[in-house]
Structure 1
């Protein structure tokens, strides 16, 4: 049985705690404050920990992952705020990109992998989320700590496109219309970013937007006229795909830094 420490007990942590229990592992330690972890890893109980879940603000991810070379680490997205940092991390580190476990995406990935070489597709990734002014208070409203809006709200979706179509691409068009500083305007723009990416002949538009109400939310991938719904809820964590991430990790399978760096690098270019 693996023995876990969970660092960061905010909004997303219940999904991790639930998943750890679901796979039959044990939670030894849970702590929240940003300064506690450096003291905790010096304690005797820490020596019994085999696995660590990092659910802290984005800017802490790299330093924490780097400090835990003797543990198996599962870090929330984004793994780091730069692709350079991601590539420095060892293979004991994994990250949470749970959309890869969506059942329709798993089926689509299998279909694409079995297609004759040279088959091409086109479509659109649409992401519409509710985010009010409260969301941007604290670290999420500080680009130096969050990495910016595309990291916070877009990393899952750009990772998905790379997962499906590879990381050989050309950015044909990229318009980031919304920055964090705009979120405090009386009438902030509704579109975060839009553009077009050519994944080696697979042409996909993307559109990320913010809305005021829950019922306007939508996350979907359209491919060759067929729509795949990714979520219509407030947060992807409610789809319970963290369980799949944890079960895979228990069998030594997951998204490692080299793979995670691909979508981070794409966002760096889009910005």
Structure 2
């Protein structure tokens, strides 16, 4: 049994980490969040200690180090995006391996800084890249690998996940803290595209706004038109009023709908990490480089065949 700490216990994604810790037979020893709305702990890990001040959390973690059976092995980071780097660094310096939600950090330079702290502490950072464990994605990767090496697939990626008015009032609506919608909701998909189609060769942004973004990516094995949105008005007509989320990939005319199958992917990710097969800094670098360019690039008028069809409705 491994001992875990969790930073960001009141966040949306934290319960998936709590359940993954429990389902893999491990112990959530202590959790921290500035928000005390963490009653979900009662149904998953009621014995866990909890703090709302980071200093008290950190001191408690140091006290746990005095005994081998209580010392922390892992720190799970589920805090807001802009705090990931600081919380990962703190976890490593506590003598723990760290499991962090997406996006790991906003820039390649901060990836390099984390690599230095790994060297200094002898501990490792793991990123939750759960789409790499999704059955539909793994099957598509196998299909692409089996195709002739000179085949380049035409791909259209559409991801719309409706968010209410609360979103823009939260840290997620502040680009200084979330790093923008393409980074906050898109980073896993850019990792997925790299995982399936190889190295990125071209990266162009056609539209960038607070609630949606679109562009074109060219990989070794694919030409990708992409569209991401948190606006329910962008949902297809046959989905509106039925589901809040629409995820779809069209690969050369064949649709891969992967809205289902996400429930247990955090547990799968934890199982892989605990077995020594987790995804680390090197694995996460490609998607961080991709979103860094998307976030900082000027929008361009797209060339024929490279623009997602939803963009036409935004630029009239």
Q: Same fold (TM over 0.5)?
A: yes
1:104 maps to which of 136, 139, 142? 136
Superposition deviation, residue 25 in structure 1: 1.0
CA distance in structure 2 between the aligned counterparts of 1:110 and 1:2, rounded to whole angstroms: 34
Superposition deviation, residue 168 in structure 1: 3.0
Alignment of 1:39-54 (within 5 A): 39-43=56-60, 44-45=63-64, 48-54=71-77
C-alpha RMSD of the superposition: 2.1
Deviates more, 1:16-25 or 1:43-52: 43-52
Alignment of 1:169-180 (within 5 A): 169-171=201-203, 173-179=204-210
How many positions carry a matched residue from both structures?
255
Query: Structure 1 residues 5, 163: closer, same or farther in 2, change over 3 A?
Result: same
Paired residue secondary structure (1:239): coil
Superposition deviation, residue 32 in structure 1: 1.1
Superposition deviation, residue 200 in structure 1: 2.6
Instruction: Confirm whether residue 231 of structure 1 aligns to residue 259 of structure 2.
Output: yes
CA distance in structure 1 between the aligned counterparts of 2:31 and 2:96, rounded to whole angstroms: 15
Query: Structure 1 residues 141, 214: closer, same or farther in 2, change over 3 A?
Result: farther
How does the TM-score come out when normalised to structure 1? 0.86
CA distance in structure 2 between the aligned counterparts of 1:201 and 1:113, rounded to whole angstroms: 9
Superimposed CA distance per residue, residues 213-259 of structure 1 (whole angstroms, 9 cap, x where no aligned partner): 56252011221222222226xxx9x5221111011011111221122
Paired residue secondary structure (1:164): helix
CA distance in structure 1 between the aligned counterparts of 2:135 and 2:217, rounded to whole angstroms: 24
Partner of 2:276: 252
Structure 1's unaligned 5+ residue stretches are 184-191
Q: Quick one: higher RCO (CA 8 Å, sep 6+), 1 or 2?
A: 1
Query: Structure 1 residues 37, 252: closer, same or farther in 2, change over 3 A?
Result: farther
Superposition deviation, residue 262 in structure 1: 1.1
Instruction: Confirm whether residue 218 of structure 1 aligns to residue 246 of structure 2.
Output: yes
Alignment of 1:110-259 (within 5 A): 110-171=142-203, 173-179=204-210, 192-200=212-220, 202-209=222-229, 210-212=231-233, 215=243, 217-231=245-259, 239-259=263-283
Superimposed CA distance per residue, residues 24-65 of structure 1 (whole angstroms, 9 cap, x where no aligned partner): 111111121287334323331255110111111111100111
CA distance in structure 1 between the aligned counterparts of 2:181 and 2:244, rounded to whole angstroms: 19
How does the TM-score come out when normalised to structure 2? 0.75
CA distance in structure 2 between the aligned counterparts of 1:134 and 1:64, rounded to whole angstroms: 25
CA distance in structure 2 between the aligned counterparts of 1:140 and 1:112, rounded to whole angstroms: 35
Superimposed CA distance per residue, residues 106-142 of structure 1 (whole angstroms, 9 cap, x where no aligned partner): 1222333344433321111110110121112121122
CA distance in structure 2 between the aligned counterparts of 1:204 and 1:17, rounded to whole angstroms: 35
Structure 2's unaligned 5+ residue stretches are 36-51, 119-123, 234-240, 296-316
Question: Could you list the runs of 4 or more consecutive aligned residues of structure 1 that deviate by over 3 angstroms after TM superposition?
Answer: 113-116
CA distance in structure 1 between the aligned counterparts of 2:165 and 2:126, rounded to whole angstroms: 31
Query: Structure 1 residues 59, 216: closer, same or farther in 2, change over 3 A?
Result: closer
Partner of 1:188: none
CA contact (8 A) 1:87 1:258 kept: no
Paired residue secondary structure (1:254): coil
1:72 maps to which of 80, 93, 97? 97
CA distance in structure 2 between the aligned counterparts of 1:226 and 1:8, rounded to whole angstroms: 40
CA contact (8 A) 1:52 1:74 kept: yes
CA contact (8 A) 1:8 1:56 kept: yes
CA distance in structure 2 between the aligned counterparts of 1:49 and 1:255, rounded to whole angstroms: 20
